[in-house]
């Protein structure tokens, strides 16, 4: 199947609709019936303004996070329409991919 790998970049302390933004994105993916989403914590990174974000032992609020999804073109369009209607501001990467499942369901 052809589609896109979507990667959204945020921080632990970013919120939308009263929830951490990364958690909200995963919940949205489930609500839209997407096949899965993965939350990846980062140790350190920096954003467009050059400010360093990192996970410290005592303070995780600034920890960088990635949410990744493999989606079809139609799923991508539905997701981005929803993000736009919700007014979500977030940096993303959208890369064309081939994806599928190998093996037998047990």
Of residues 97, 103, 101, 48, the one with CA closest to residue 68: 97
Query: Per the domain annotation, does 51 fall within a domain?
Result: yes
CATH number of the CATH domain containing 28? 3.30.70.120
Q: How far apart are CA 63 and CA 20, in angstroms?
A: 12
**Angle in degrees, 0-180, between the axes of helices 73-86 and 21-31, rounded to the nearest 10:** 130
Q: What is the reported pLDDT for 99?
A: 96
Q: What is the reported pLDDT for 50?
A: 67
Mean pLDDT (whole number) for 4-25: 95
Number of domains in the chain: 1
Query: Per the domain annotation, does 88 fall within a domain?
Result: yes
Q: How far apart are CA 42 and CA 67, in angstroms?
A: 11
Q: Read off the pLDDT of residues 38-83 as tens digits, 9 standing for 90 and up.
A: 999 876 666 666 665 555 545 555 678 999 999 999 999 999 999 9
By residue range, what is the domain housing residue 14?
Answer: 2-98
Q: What is the reported pLDDT for 41?
A: 86
Handedness of CA 63, 80, 97, 35 (dihedral sign): positive
Query: Per the domain annotation, does 105 fall within a domain?
Result: no
């Amino acid at each position: 199947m052809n589609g896109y790998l979507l990667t959204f970049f945020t921080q632990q302390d970013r919120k939308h609709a009263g929830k951490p933004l990364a958690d909200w994105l995963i919940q949205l993916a489930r609500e839209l019936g997407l096949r899965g989403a993965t939350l990846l914590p980062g140790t350190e990174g920096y954003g467009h303004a050059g400010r360093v974000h990192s996970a410290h032992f005592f303070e995780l609020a600034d920890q960088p996070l990635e949410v990744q999804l493999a989606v079809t073109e139609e799923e991508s369009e539905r997701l981005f329409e929803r993000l736009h209607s919700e007014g979500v501001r977030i940096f993303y990467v959208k890369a064309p991919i081939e994806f599928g499942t190998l093996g037998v369901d047990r």
